[in-house]
Structure 1
Amino acid sequence: MPKYIIAYHGGVKFESPEQGAAHMAKWKAWVGELGDAVVNPGTPLAKGKLINSRGVSDAGENLLTGFSMIMADSMDAALKMAQRCPYVDHGTVEVAEVMEMK
């Protein structure tokens, strides 16, 4: 079964620990709903840097803040799972199939 990365971009800082905890509870419930489809429930990332031929720069506003990995029958199935993620209330979510190296 194909694997898909759900990449989290942007987001907000919560105004209180309670707001952060409420969001985390929603996110954990969503991961629980995914069941056996979850390969990696989530890995948060620190602020990154971009590298190109001119050097290194800040990642900007829409930086990668974390990722999850799931298994799904198709891109459409993966998108349906990702659309229910509560992170979409605070940032954007990108879904990409993990390609097998041969």
Structure 2
Amino acid sequence: MTQFIISYLGGDKPASAEEGKRHFAQYQQWLASLGGAVITAMVPYKNSHSVSSDGVSAGSQVDMTGHTIVQAESIEQAIEMAKSCPFLAINGRLNIAEMVVI
């Protein structure tokens, strides 16, 4: 099977600790529903820096906030998995890409 990376883009932060716990529980349920397709669960990002020929700047210049890696038979199947991700409920966007191993 092919591996796909689901990148989390943007998304609202929880308004309270309780809201964060509820959202985390939804993530756990989503990941459990994917079963053995999950290669790397969720990897949130923090303390990002951008490096360019102009130098380094703190804070990401893109709004990628984390990723999950899944395996699927096709990009269409990976997209179907992503459609039920709870990140979409907090105004996040998902980018799904096939991972090419060289």
What TM-score comes out, normalization by structure 2 length? 0.90
Q: Identical aligned pairs, as a percentage? A: 34
Q: Is the 8 A contact 1:47 1:65 kept in 2?
A: no
Gaps of 5+ in 2: none
Q: What is the deviation of 1:47?
A: 3.5
**Number of matched pairs:** 100
Give 4+ residue runs of structure 1 displaced > 4 Å after superposition. Answer: none
Q: Report if aligned partners of 1:48, 1:64 keep a CA contact under 8 Å in 2.
A: no
Q: Give the C-alpha shift of residue 55 in structure 1.
A: 1.6
Q: Supply the distance in 1 between the matched residues of 2:6 and 2:98 (Cα, whole angstroms).
A: 9
Structure 1 runs not aligned, ≥5 long: none
RMSD across aligned positions (CA): 1.3
Q: TM-score, normalised by structure 1?
A: 0.90
SS in 2 for 1:67: strand
How many Å separate the matches in 2 of 1:16 and 1:54? Answer: 38
Structure 2: distance between partners of 1:50 and 1:92: 21
1:17-72, CA deviations, whole angstroms, 9 ceiling, x for partnerless residues? Answer: 11111111111100000001010111111041222221223324x52211111000
- The correspondence of residues 11-50 of structure 1 with structure 2, limited to 5 A, is 11-50=11-50
> One-letter code of the match for 1:44?
P
Which residue of 1 is the match for residue 93 of structure 2? 92
